[in-house]
Amino acid sequence: MNPRTQELGSKVIYQIYIKSYQDSDGDGMGDLRGITSRLDYLADLGVDCVWITPFFPSPQNDNGYDVSDYCAIEPLYGTMDDFEELAREARARGIEVMLDMVFNHTSTEHEWFKKALSGDPKYLAYYKFVDAAPGATADDPGKPPTNWESKFGGNAWEYVPSLNKWYLHLFDVTQADLDWDNPEVREELANVLRFWRGKGVNCFRFDVVNLISKPNVLEDDFEGDGRRFYSDGPHIHEYLQELVRLGGIDGLMTVGEMSSTSLQSCIGYSNPSNHELSMCFNFHHLKVDYDHGDKWALKDPDIDELRELFRSWQEEMAAGGGWNALFWSNHDQPRPNSRFGDTERFWYESSTLLPTATHLMRGTPYIYQGEELGQTITDFTSIDQYRDVESINYYRILQDRGCTPEEAFHIVHARSRDDGRTPMAWNDSPNAGFTTGTPWLALVGNYPTVNAQAEMADPHSVRAYFKRLIALRKAEPVIQEGDVRFVEGLEGSPIIAFWRTLGKTRLLVQCNFSGEEVGALDAEGSELLIGNYDEPSDMLRPYEARATIWR
């Protein structure tokens, strides 16, 4: 295995959603100084890198993913001095900082877009503007250029009467898509990377980066929402290679968030010979509880589909020289233990099953803040408690589709991005130690027992289990760099199982994704490496995960 892949195999990355991690000034929102104050907690956990969601200036219509200045700090989160202190203190503890770069689109408050609205031809060419049909007016702009749908609902084009043009926004209307076909745009974004490299930043995450290359011909999509035309677009590899080269980040640890991507594309993105990215996030495994592929239609997770997705992405990425970012959870996903487990009856087991599976796979594991504590989804009872623009939009859209308000709320409660954005639970004091003020988003009611202080004092806690998994990855070469092969013949079973092998060392991982006992696979002659039940058994108990090793 090449040394670069071997190095990636030993790393564990921790994601911080800055708004909800730790507030240092009592305004109810997390900030940079808050993160600095918790670095010892992260060092104790054993993580190598912290990915921090965007803290650049922003109107906060999409909680910072609508950037209005790539090279400054949003005052809500602190100052450049605060960032430099955070990076310095993190590095002193052996922790790198990963910045989150939102390069598919900017906020409509960005200076570039404001200049575009003024009619400046240089900056009009920075965005995906299309002329309206002759005779279009503010009252009757005619048909948009395509019928593509925004990720947040509604058409993906917005008409600007003063320009008689439409601009593309694959996300919120205040997030205008950049035109990467313009080399000046690509140079501007490379300059952003060079700026942060000058601040000592060595790790980058790229938001929805496989959407940056749009098709040369715009056409309606009569089979879907348009994504098949712009995902993994025609110049994507060329543009990524250029960004990496010009930005001076070749060989650094980077990850791309890949929306509706393909396995073959991700092999290309992450194979080191292509000089693009270190690894890829894909989301196919997080759609196995979408009924007919619709995020807003609920069904139980399809474990057969989940197993096959893991098998194909693990085995085929390995065969093609690609590298996976391994995760269940992030700021856009409901808490996975509530989603794939049973946190009412088997909270501990559900919260430890999931990381056992991914942390022992081939790739680089990511932990999302609070996941290591077993934090659960919200216990909100009203749509008024939500802050996420997508959730609020879909509460209305679902009712427009025929749902009752109660049905719409039930779906939003299960699917909302706010399910993963509730503040970090530090202790059992008011507001869980997150803030002395009023939290921007309400906490989950179980924080008096599910919190960092309580779990750090308990050697059998969910957090203690995560620490063991992290330590095992650093100690066991078979986890870092071993081959991977999934156990076949488990169709119809709730078990997902796979082998990791390196030389004479063999590791068997078995995970029961159900609340019922099922027969375990034969592991005679092995020793237990880790498991979430204390006593050995010939059965896999509800939500049991175990890994056994032959040396």
Q: Are residues 387 and 359 in the same domain?
A: no
pTM: 0.96
The answer to whether residue 5 scores a pLDDT higher than 70 is: no
- Domain annotation covers residue 182: no
Are the C-beta atoms of 499 and 507 separated by less than 8 Å?
Answer: yes
Q: How far is CA 251 from the centre of its chain?
A: 22
Q: Given the residues 62, 207, 418, 544, select the one marked as catalytic.
A: 207
The answer to whether residue 362 scores a pLDDT higher than 70 is: yes
d(CA 285, CA 361): 14
H or E element, residue 181: none
Are the C-beta atoms of 70 and 192 separated by less than 8 Å?
Answer: yes
- Domain annotation covers residue 183: no
140: CATH = 3.90.400.10
Q: Are residues 312 and 222 in the same domain?
A: no
The answer to whether residue 4 scores a pLDDT higher than 80 is: no
Instruction: Give 75: exposed, middle or buried? Use CB within 10 Å, 0-12, 13-18, 19+.
Output: exposed
Confidence class of residue 469 from pLDDT cuts 50, 70 and 90? Answer: very high
d(CA 55, CA 63): 9
Q: Given the residues 66, 74, 172, 257, select the one marked as catalytic.
A: 257
521: CATH = 2.60.40.1180
- Domain annotation covers residue 331: yes
Please provide the average confidence, as pLDDT, over all residues in the chain: 97
- Domain annotation covers residue 189: no
Q: Residues 291-338: pLDDT tens digits?
A: 999 999 999 999 999 999 999 999 999 999 999 999 999 999 999 999
Position 6 scores a pLDDT of 74
Q: What angle do CA 300, 305, 308 make, to 5 degrees?
A: 150
- Domain annotation covers residue 185: no
Q: Residues 143-155: pLDDT tens digits?
A: 999 999 999 889 9
Are the C-beta atoms of 365 and 327 separated by less than 8 Å?
Answer: yes
Q: Residues 339-354: pLDDT tens digits?
A: 999 999 999 999 999 9
Position 3 scores a pLDDT of 67
Q: Are residues 473 and 489 in the same domain?
A: no
Q: Are residues 354 and 403 in the same domain?
A: no
Are the C-beta atoms of 152 and 417 separated by less than 8 Å?
Answer: no
Confidence class of residue 393 from pLDDT cuts 50, 70 and 90? Answer: very high
Q: Residues 421-468: pLDDT tens digits?
A: 999 999 999 999 999 999 999 999 999 999 999 999 999 999 999 999
Residue ending a domain, choose from 394, 415, 436 = 415
Q: Are residues 288 and 343 in the same domain?
A: yes
Q: Are residues 545 and 445 in the same domain?
A: no
- State in Å, rounded, how far the first CA of the chain is from the last one: 20
The domain in which residue 148 lies consists of 111-177
d(CA 414, CA 419): 8
- Number of independent structural domains in the chain: 5
By DSSP bridging, strand 518-519 and strand 539-540 are antiparallel
Position 2 scores a pLDDT of 59
SS3 of 195, please? helix
Q: Are residues 200 and 84 in the same domain?
A: no
Q: Are residues 466 and 520 in the same domain?
A: no
Confidence class of residue 273 from pLDDT cuts 50, 70 and 90? Answer: very high
Q: Are residues 238 and 288 in the same domain?
A: no
Q: Are residues 292 and 262 in the same domain?
A: no
Q: Which residues contact 338 (CB under 8 A, 6 or more apart)?
A: 350, 376, 377, 419
Position 153 scores a pLDDT of 87
d(CA 528, CA 530): 6
**Annotation marks residue 96 as catalytic:** no
**Annotation marks residue 149 as catalytic:** no
Q: What is the mean pLDDT of residues 403-428?
A: 97
Q: Which residues contact 131 (CB under 8 A, 6 or more apart)?
A: 164, 165
Are the C-beta atoms of 48 and 367 separated by less than 8 Å?
Answer: no
% of the chain residues with pLDDT over 90: 97
Q: Residues 538-550: pLDDT tens digits?
A: 999 999 999 999 9
Position 1 scores a pLDDT of 52
Q: Residues 78-107: pLDDT tens digits?
A: 999 999 999 999 999 999 999 999 999 999
